[in-house]
Amino acid sequence: MIQQHLRQLLPERQVDPFAAFALLCGSAAAMVVWKWLDKRQIQKKMEEARRTRNEGVKKMAKAVQQFREQVPSVQTDAILSLPLLELTGRLQEGSLSPKTVLYTYIEKALEVTQQTNCLRHFIPECGEQLQEVQRQKEKGLLYGIPVSIKDHIGHKGHLSTCGLVQCLGTVVQEDSVLVKVLKSQGAIPFAMTNVPQSLFNYDCSNPTFGQTLNPFNHQKSPGGSSGGEGALIAGGGSILGIGSDIGGSIRLPSSFCGLCGLKPTAERLSVDVCSLPNPVPCALGPMARDVDSLALCMKALLCEEMFWLDPTVPPIPFNEDVYSSSAPLRVGYYDTDSYFPLPPCMRRAVQDTRRALQAAGHQVTLPPQTGDTQLSEKRQLLWHDPLLLSSLSTGDTVDPSLKSQVNCCRIPSVGKKLLALILKPLVSPWPQDQSRAVSALEMLENPCWDLSSAKGNERRTCQEL
């Protein structure tokens, strides 16, 4: 009955195949044009970002040249060779001026980035910060020190891209808390360094600003994701830098470039940076040429202003007594998580460090590992695939260094399970690490390894370094 009424209201008409074909072709053509326009817009954004960077480099080169003409007798090599502690002392006493140090490092940074492509952008406002520093009545711990910062650490008036095209149009409206504290301590942020696309890579390359090279070997990577920082500091273009770390982004570049780096306890420093949301906490930390430089940076950052600007940061200042003390320490370590196979060279390095600490009189202890903790760690791995794909889902051109990683992420879950079933018998089972087993007696003898004490030990280590 209903069908009859519908036929009366909507009389049948023959579909013209030519019209249907024309409609299909028109839709396909519209889709092609739309994609072409989208790619064209992306290319324009990338070209504009590169043009802005190049103009900034030229302006800085011109400023350095003008400074050289005004002060031709600067001993560049002598300044660049000074360790951070000695440089701060010379600046505090007035034997070196902040302006001389700043332009010396800018000149060196221009040279290093020309060789390694480590800079994303210079910060032209460093001239204004220089004047502000010279007007300060009280000299902060980092008075007159040029500091480089990683791409996604917010600085007012500049991009915070994470290596993504979709972030090229977003200008930061306010300095991040960490940058504010650096400036209050007399530091002069002068450059922002390159990062890999989406920050999810141990290399350092993105489609907009290109590949960063290792300053010691241009055929090698500086590591990632704080690879621009690693290359700039190792090349001598910066004496102190700020990176970030979730799964090795400070530690890997520091290792690849022969530097010292510290990943503090999560939330030990304010982390109000442009970053992709993830359940694994991100930590900001210093990178430099020696451990004393890291300690000075942490001492400067862990101040009342940091605690006031970000109430989520625990108000625990740097403990100089603990850092300077020669009393034996209790150090926790492990050389496997019983999930990821560890290469023998890395396990050997951990064991060598353990023996060196024991020989120096420190107590080295293995924390117990429960099944629940292992399961939690495995679940944390699951955030990576969808997060990486979502960050690249807005038309971003995938960087060549990331393509294999992205292709693996795009394999459907069913396909991954089938591959696991096929490949699992071909991979020899990872031997259980007997040293991980902690007996009930050992746990009773070492009751310190509960959650609260573990956090206390971790905080102490952060203060010491």
Domain edges within the chain: 46-318
Distance (Å, whole) CA 93 – CA 437? 55
**Given this model, what pLDDT does residue 172 score?**
93
Let me know if 249 is a catalytic residue.
yes
**Given this model, what pLDDT does residue 275 score?**
53
CA angle 53, 54, 56 (to 5 degrees): 65
Which of 198, 225, 238, 293 is labelled catalytic? 225
Other beta carbons within 10 Å of 370: 9
**Given this model, what pLDDT does residue 429 score?**
53
**Given this model, what pLDDT does residue 169 score?**
83
Let me know if 417 is a catalytic residue.
no
Which of 198, 205, 249, 254 is labelled catalytic? 249
Which of 150, 183, 263, 299 is labelled catalytic? 150
**Given this model, what pLDDT does residue 443 score?**
31
Let me know if 45 is a catalytic residue.
no
Would you identify the CATH topology of the domain 46-318?
Amidase signature (AS) enzymes (3.90.1300)
**Given this model, what pLDDT does residue 13 score?**
58
pTM of the model: 0.84
Tokens 């089972």, located at residue: 429
Point out the residues of the chain with pLDDT beneath 70: 1-16, 274-279, 339, 369-396, 427-465
